[in-house]
Amino acid sequence: MLLTFLTPVLTPVILFLVSCRLWTMYCDGQRDKNSPLPLPPGNMGLPFIGETLNFLIWMRDFSQFRRKVHGDVFKTHILGRPTIRVIGAENVHRILNGEHCLVAALWPTSAQTLLGAGSLSMSHGHVHKQRRKILLRAFSHQALKSYMEECQHIIRSHVIKWCGLGSIKAYPEIKRLTFAVVCRVILGFDLSEKDQDDVLKVFIPFSSNMFSVPLNIPGSGYYRVSVYTSLYRMLYAYSYTNYSGLVGSDALSLVLQHGAAEGEAISDDNLKDLALELLFAGYETTASAACSTVNLLASNQHVLKKAYTEICHNGLDNLDEPLAFESLGQLEYINNIVKEVLRLLPPIGGGFRKSLKTFELDGYQIPKDWCVVYSIRETHEDTFINDNNKDFDPDRWQRVENGDASNVKDFLPFGSGSRSCAGKDFARLLLKVLVTELVRNCSWDLLEGDTPAMEYFPVPHPKNGLPTQFTGNSKFRLSSNTC
């Protein structure tokens, strides 16, 4: 009688314990037996699902907790793959600079499908090298200089609009700003404000579900995005009629011109993938950094005052004169503001790679074919340990130049190596113009405290949307002794 009662209770427990034991044996068998080095410490989680649920639920805290227990290099099993998590400047540099010899780019299935095979991110070897070479021409010094006037016009018009609206949620408005810049300056789309809003309604779910679970069923984010992707392609196909003469001054037109000049004509399908990738890469990450800039400056008025003083000393306080590209390059303190924002809140938290062979890292083996996840955000958190690393202090970068502070080799907001962000100089240009226009044209205050709660996926952003009160005319312009 007792056995009859206990059997249905004990059987699932026994099966679960056996499954866990078999899973542990399977995971232990994944190490490279030809290497004498041990696997990194860590936990491979539950059978089949590993630690994926913990990862999806805890996100940022998932890695932080395990790092405290296991150190800068630890193993786990997430998103269906045995994975090594890597933190620390030297370790991350080894991964980023080991492209093609130690590791290769690895993207989740959802991103591979949605960005398309023609995108730079999904290419490898010679194809990647050639495409990147052509793309970099669109972000050369001369190209950036040609984008300056349009960037300033769009940014300034949005800043003035915010002042007219008064109280706004800054993050959504900043996303509209960066979307407008990318559409016009990068892709050459001359869209009305209504058309931009219509495209944004379609694009937001695409961007938000780039790293979703690839279940192509009704109701899932991935299914919704798959449907919208066809709309994007139709929009781009229609817009590309503007490029028949290859005479545009936007970044995409320059890519087409340089590709044709080097005998690397880009097919229509690859062109659509590239345009979609440029829109994705330039929109959300730049919006995140721009929002962080507005947030951090609002709660550090002494930084704003110093920025305005620098603007005055460089003769850029006259609102009737456009910003000159060369003059912007002389604003060293504003450049340090941008660097400090990217240090504290890097838009890209890390990335994925696949190991091409077994290699050593920090005394452990990284087996062939394992996923390697490197962390930029946590590496930045180790920067300037002896220099108040949690403070927003643009002056620290001057101390770095003077040799009075920590080494900055662990400053990696745009990655490193052959897959570093191709548009990093454009992003820095946009942020410097934004800071300059904000400081020259308006004042602003956060309406719900100086330290809003943050979300970090897919990019850092305030949970509350950053309610902000903008007013016209800079408070420093009204002070007779600021300049």
Annotated binding site: which residue ranges?
421
Fill in the DSSP letter of residue 42. B
Contact indicator for 143, 389 with CB cutoff of 8 Å: no
CA angle, residues 394, 399, 403, in degrees to nearest 5 = 150
| Furthest-apart CA atoms within the chain: distance in Å | 93
* Cα separation, 39 vs 36, whole angstroms: 10
Q: Which helix (H) or strand (E) holds 170?
A: helix 170-181
Tell me if residue 454 falls in helix, strand or coil. Answer: strand
First to last CA, the chain: 92
**CB under 8 Å, gap of 24 or more: what pairs does 214-223 form?**
214/108, 214/109, 214/110, 214/113, 222/110
| Sole residue written with tokens 């395990």 | 66
- Residue 33 tokens read as 């037996």
Q: Which helix (H) or strand (E) holds 106?
A: none
| Sole residue written with tokens 């070897």 | 125
Residues whose CB falls within 8 Å of the CB of residue 315, separated by 6 or more in sequence, listed in order: 327
| Residue positions forming the annotated binding site for heme | 421
Please name which of 339, 348, 331 lies closest in space to residue 396, comparing C-alpha atoms: 339
* Cα separation, 100 vs 474, whole angstroms: 50
